Structure 1
Amino acid sequence: MDHASPDERTVVAVDPDGSAVAWSSVAAGVSSPEEPFPDGFRTERAEPIDPSEADAFVVMEPAALDRVRETNPTLPVVALVDDPTQPVAAHPLVDSIATDPDGVETQVEWLSTRTDADPVRTSPSSAPSRIERLGSGATRLATVRDVDTAYRTTVAVADEVFPEYDVVIGVSEDGWIEPVAVSADVALDECQRVRAGRGSAGTVIERGEPIVTPRRGDESNGHHITVPVDDDTVLQISTDDPGGFADEDGRLVELLASHLEETLDRIRTDDELRAERDRLLALFENVPDPAVAYDDIDGEPRFRRVNSAFEETFGYDPESIVGESIDEYMVPDEVESRSEAEELNAKLRRGENVRREVTRETADGERHFILHVIPIHLDAENVSGYAIYTDVTARREREATLRRQNERLEQFSSIVSHDLRNPLSVAEGYVDLARETSDLDHLERVDEALTRMDRLVEDLLSLAREGEVVGDIESVSLDSLAREAWASVDTSDARLLVEDDVELDANPTRARELLENLFRNSVEHGRSRDGDAVSRDDENSAEFSNHSTSSRTKSDDSVEHGSTSSRAEPGDSVEHGRSRDSDTVSRDDEHSAEGSNHTTAAESDAVLTVRVGGTTLRDGDTEGFYVEDDGHGLPEDADRIFETGFTTDEDGTGLGLAIVERIAEAHGWTIRATTGEDGGARFEFGTG
């Protein structure tokens, strides 16, 4: 007969009632109005067809085979089943089985190609040969998924191939060969186990070679063939026929045993793969770092699965992001970050391992990670893989802290080697001069040099104490801090005006130190070189210096500090926004609060005023405080005033404002230097 080409073959599906419809590979299944195929096998109806036009048949129930037998039993028949042990799969007219629509097409193609040269059956009356039954059984074994079913299916196939023989499968366990599956007409508990190394079964497992022997102890002179399946399993057929076995029986048993061996190997491999998959899944779920399983869809990585650490770190519900773009959810909007993500995606598609530091959006804002991406297939086109994010933000912060500390050490080394050496050299020179001339007046210059060294050492120690953490925080009054700080500074005839009080969350000691350095800076850059107070209207600019003055005064220092003396002297001026009896006092009020002096307008113009109070920063949302003076304002290079060692005063240490900035940063405050209302320097602090 002429056989159709693969593209022209007509495959007919036959329902149990005999209805025939065209098999539709596009529809991935077929149905008839009366008996639909199982769920998942059908997506559209197929048109009825005359079964005589078929080149192959698809059946699901034994009843459908009656129609096949009536039409043309010589054509290939594929059983579409959920379970290969179903009765229709063992029917003699069934040549092969499939568990899904794709399998149907594969089996039809294989059977049709084979029958182009040699038909499956030569006539309607001929039954399948034993080799055909064995081939059909091998197909059934190919779909088995567990060992016990493999044993039972093998025995069922053997019963079909050798209906006149008894079949048993034995497995070696704990020194015994235990029967695990037997023919349908034999009770399993009637089969005796055999000690390993004894009998034909034990010998076959020990030697790995088949044995054909008479059945021992049986007066019927029965025979059996025992063949090895693997190192622990044997397959045995037995007969009571005195004539023994046919010549081809041994070859068929060995062939069936080889099919079982392949099935067991596949099942064990699948089990190992599943176990490995489960281990990987457990590792994926329990790894402490955020992990993502992704699929590359249309050139973009998308979430397939995330672990609990990912959910905790990034704050996304796992179910809501499956199928969504990873880049859209995690990569910051900056152009540089997006370009980097595109570069990574291209590498992953090429099958390259990726390990680099990246910045990603988390539930707590941007953080830094070491991203390790592992594609499923290395050095090949990839559509899936795994990404693990190891948070290194804390490490980067430690590294940044270490860099700052190293920079600080370098700055200290520079200051110590230069700034301390200069006054020391001056002191040595004047000591030598005093020794040579016996003029003790030179020792005053020595004292000045030593005083400068003392101030520099004190500032260096203060700067060294400023770390990244401020210690205990408590609510403190800006008014109280300002008065205490003012009392600790040589303010000469300057005056302090606390315009209003605010509560700060701060470490009292370090916040007071911040104000002390600001006050010293204001007082010293608001004076002329001869020490007189400089009016804000003075055309001659005083030098602005980034330094603090020592809180230590010489023994003959007659300067009174604000709010420490009961006398109302020009140098003892602290004005407050509220007096002790709670009456409000304006800074323009001629009557100052307790502890302040009365000044004329002329005197007021000649005295440096430092004002302190609460404020709202320019963004309109951030609260804070300010310190402002009415001196000569910021220098031209004001952007450098917080640099360690920067000063415009030859006597300055260049450390005062650096200390201020360090204390503010340790509190988490922002600091900004600008020009005040009266042209002086104004420092604004954002506290939250």
Structure 2
Amino acid sequence: MTTATATQRPRTVLYVADAEAAASDGAGALEGVEAGPERSVHAVTAVDRVRNWAPEADCVVFAETPTTAAGASLLEVIEGCGSTPVILFTEPSFAPTAARSTDGIDGYVRRDTDDAVAHLADEIEWVCRETGDAVSADRAASTPGPAERFLESVPEVAACRDRDRLFERLVETAADALDCETCWLSTVHFGEFTPRATALGVSDDDLEPISRDGVLDETLRTGETLRIDEIDSDDRLTAPLDGVTSLCCVPVGDIGLLQVAAEEAAAFDDRDCDSLAAWCRVAAAVLERIDADASHRTAREQLQRERDRLRTDRDRLASERDELAAERDRLADERDRFRALFATIPEPAVRYEIDDGRVLVRDSNDAFDEVFGTAPEGVGGEEPVAPGLEHRRAALLESLRAGERCQLDSRRETVDGVREFLLTLVPVDAGASDGGASDAHTPEGLLVYSDVTETSRREREVAAAEARLETIETLVDEEMRTPLNVARGYLELAAETGAAEHFAEVDDAQERLRELVDRLVSIVRRDDVLVETEPVAIHDVARRAWVTVETGDARLVTHTADDRVLEADKARLRELFEQLLGTMIDTAERSDCGTKSGDETPAETAVVTVGATDDGFYVARRDAEPDAAAADGRIETEPDSDQLTAADGTGFGLETVERIADAHGWTVGVAADDGRIAVAFRSVDASDGH
């Protein structure tokens, strides 16, 4: 192939500096000077590269001050340049006289002037004309070939940062260096050599993908250059384009083949093939760097994303840590405030905690010890036995787990006697409850004992007063009105007739009125308020009342198995049983009087049974044969709740019984049929015990 002469090609200049940045910046500035012929300036930092490239260059610029450490390699550079002229581009500290006295320096330019680079360009032209044009012409004439052109394009190829640009520059430089426009690059794609980049002399439509087999595949695998001087007479390969006679194929690493074709036979010699192979090796190295850079860039981006993610996680964890610390501090402050409140609360109180599903009493305040005379049993880690909780552990634990405030009524023994208390359960943080799913939401709380004895007493007094007023209202409205009407009627008759018997009726009516007035006074003065209550067994009270009542042949039946202990005023409860048992016996006697006929039928014996129900107790009477007790030692009657009616207006004389039951907060119902009567008391609370 032909090669351009020295006057036809750009000046080739090596710009030598100790640092890569200084070399690149200086080469770029020099190449950008518009004055003079076109220049191709290459940045060089190593002496070895100067030795390799200087023979192909027109001039070498040494851009360091020889008296500095960076300029200490001046003599080695001069030696490596051989016959290529050297221009010293230096600081003024190295004077021109010193430069002229140094063998091998052909020119000198100071770097500290405003137009230093332009002066350097003029100096290069003057030196080249005086000492270098003949050498360059002789070099061009004696060494024709593309090597210097490939060398000039190395920096540009090395600067490529993507594959497509590299492929384009690879083909363009090969076509220009070999002065052949029929040049293209084919890369391996799905088992075929597919055209990837073409020179100006080749159209993309002219080339077709070629199967990866035969001599082209062998060329790619072995890395050897394939040269065909006469393609028509070579059966290894068919012509890829019309008019192609000779062909040179060079592998580019393992990605494909660079192919150059010519119409004339034997258009490529060994030097062309060697230059093209060296050029492809440069391209392969640059391609490896691009791929490595891409891989590194991808890895770097992944690392950056991972770093960003870790930073985000770190910031999130730090934020959560700060929130947890703030929450911990808040809870600590809340706990301190809570315990300070617990210590100063004026009412008796115990502090509890939940541990592994157990409610543990941890402490009691001074007021608790003063009121009850002792600390609660179990303080320090056992299940609580604080007063009022002995029979209510399940309900207590359920409320604690739910984180809900609840209240319980209890009557307890204190240093001042039996008192009534309202127990208030106060979790530390009721708002944190999750419906009882976790004990951790209510780890601590208070149980406060509020003395409501006086309040309850006043409530009972008010209730009793209201009951008395209702009774007075009934007596006045229903029983006093009739005698008054009778007296008024007979007085009118007496006034009309003057008959003395009418005055007798008036006198009887007045007597009944006096009796009613006495009842009203008794009711008004009656005290139905329970002064003191205590645990009482109903069977014991029933048996004590039985001995005070005229019972005749009637029998009392009680069973130990269904005895019941309840909170009641013992004296008033005994009065209730005396009244009720007397009523039961009187009812039985009246029934006997109505059913007996001489001595023909033996008199029946009344059996009175006292027993407990789920929510109270009952007193029942039934009639039995005289020998029935021997046949059935467990005669008892429990009233059917469906048969119960209110005690008012039953005709059994249960006003006193109902009044005492009302004072205790109980309800009374009566059921009766042939030969049987039962009175049931409901809504009766069991005793809490001691």
Asked if these proteins are the same fold (TM beyond 0.5), I'd say no
- Looking at CA atoms only, which structure, 1 or 2, has the larger radius of gyration? 2
TM-score under structure 2 length normalisation: 0.31
TM-score under structure 1 length normalisation: 0.32
